Amino acid sequence: MKNLSIYLFVVFLGILSACNSLENVDVETVDTTEQITRSASDFEPAVCYGLEEYNNLLKSFEPSPIPSGAPLIYPTYYGGAYVKDTKLVILIAGNPELYREEFVKRCGSENILLEKCGYSYVSLLAQTDKIHEYVMNGNIDGIVGFGIKEDKNMIEIRLKDLNEKTVKELQTKTRSSNMFFFTQGEEIKTEQTSVNSGIEIRNPMGYTSTLGYRVMYNGKKCQTLSGHSFNVGDYVYLPSSLYGICVDKEFYGSVDAAIVEVYSTYEPTNNISYTGMTVSPSVQAVPVGGYVNLYGKTSGNLYGTVTNTNFAGYVENQFMNDIVEVNYTSNSSPGDSGGLVYSSNGFTNYTTGTHIGRLPNTNYSYYTKFQNIQNVFGATRY
């Protein structure tokens, strides 16, 4: 146990609100490009290298024909993928040279690296499924989170009380292998913030929440919000007027999000408030080691590196899985939950996810994958 890495993970999740300016017209475009308080020139989105290659790779694993939300089918020799420097690295449980031609075709690019690894991604997923079942059956034993660390080709298990005795007991009970390593952690907690001055979205309790992505839901114009902030039937307010009503929410499994049906006097846009930037409706996933950007009501624009693409753990006593962990260069803040997480190839900003919250005293935060929001709600970006 000499090599146990000890981290302190205590998560407070804030609630964001990045809403938009109003004009005295019959239909108001929800936009703030004319009210720029945070200059677009102050922030350049971080470029995620390997973004196209990674998403091509994931698409190559989709079953055909593709049922909605169907799990990916991974080859038994595939070990995971992550970004190193400017290239996508693909791990191979076997001889990498035997599979280079195949993965060049899958990625649609020669600009990839193949490295040998010890475990296939299928075997790592099988182990995380066992841990998931173990936890869901009430056998907590201090487990507060777990997930595959693709750059390490191992499974990280976070314990509330990290010591050699606890680790040995857990290894015996779960029949764990060398695939596992253990770190110290805490449950993820949400932290709402009261209404501040400025343009923001708030719930009936007076807590703020960031106006998220524009979506079509059941044929109607809607937008996403933080799921832990709203209940179905809640009115969604601007500081001085009613914006819409919450028609669906999910704070369970892989999704922390809500849907607000926007009243007809407003017209949602794809512009990011106060920045002059826009986000494409195209949804892109980001690999471990890749950069993502966050826009939150309190923090404005941040960027960071993805460290885990399938983390599972407790958020305010609610178990969540398949969420993404990011190490941001600066802390996100109370008021940022529900914010837009987007990726960039240097030319286009892509829809990636919505912010859940962060670990205080660290720069680690979490987001819901937008693909999971689409699968759960049947909502589509437009």
**Using CA atoms, how far apart are residues 109 and 114, in angstroms rounded to an integer?**
13
**Using CA atoms, how far apart are residues 330 and 303, in angstroms rounded to an integer?**
8
**Tokens coding 119:** 């475990």
Which domain-ending residue is among 116, 143, 167?
116
Decide if pLDDT at 24 tops 60. no
Which domain-ending residue is among 94, 116, 138?
116
Total domains in the chain come to 2
Query: Is the domain of 29 the same as that of 58?
Result: no
**Tokens coding 39:** 């200059």
**Tokens coding 329:** 């260069």
Residue 67 sits in which domain range?
52-116
* Residues paired with 315 in a beta bridge: 188, 318
Q: Does 184 or 112 have the greater pLDDT score? A: 112
Residue 190's pLDDT band (boundaries 50, 70, 90)? Answer: low
C-alpha closest to that of 147 among 267, 315, 323: 323
- Domain CATH code at residue 372: 2.40.10.10
Decide if pLDDT at 199 tops 80. no
* Residues paired with 296 in a beta bridge: 300
Query: Is the domain of 221 the same as that of 107?
Result: no
pLDDT in tens, 130-165: 888 888 887 777 888 899 999 999 999 999 888 888
**Percentage of the chain exceeding pLDDT 70:** 85
**Using CA atoms, how far apart are residues 312 and 108, in angstroms rounded to an integer?**
31
Look at residue 143 and tell me if it is in a domain: no
**Tokens coding 320:** 């969540």
Residue 124's pLDDT band (boundaries 50, 70, 90)? Answer: very high
pLDDT of residue 28: 52
Query: Does the N-terminal peptide bond of residue 63 adopt cis geometry, omega within 30 degrees of 0?
Result: no
pLDDT of residue 377: 98
Give the residue-averaged pLDDT of 295-315: 91
* Residues paired with 13 in a beta bridge: 190
- Confidence (pTM): 0.81
pLDDT in tens, 53-111: 999 999 999 987 766 667 899 999 999 999 999 999 999 999 999 999 999 999 999 99
Query: Is the domain of 223 the same as that of 206?
Result: yes
Look at residue 362 and tell me if it is in a domain: yes
**Using CA atoms, how far apart are residues 72 and 86, in angstroms rounded to an integer?**
25
Sorted by sequence, the CB contacts under 8 Å of residue 206 that are 6+ apart come out as 194, 195
Query: Is the domain of 36 the same as that of 102?
Result: no
Render 26-91 in DSSP notation, one character per residue: SSEEEB-TTS-SS-GGG--PPP-TTHHHHHHHHHHTS-SS--TTPPP---TTEEEEEEETTEEEEE
pLDDT of residue 208: 82
Query: Is the domain of 206 the same as that of 348?
Result: yes
Give the residue-averaged pLDDT of 252-263: 95
Phi-psi region of 153 (alpha: psi -120 to 50; beta: other; left: phi over 0): left
C-beta of residue 247 within 8 angstroms of C-beta of residue 378: no
Torsions phi, psi of 28, nearest 5? -100, 125
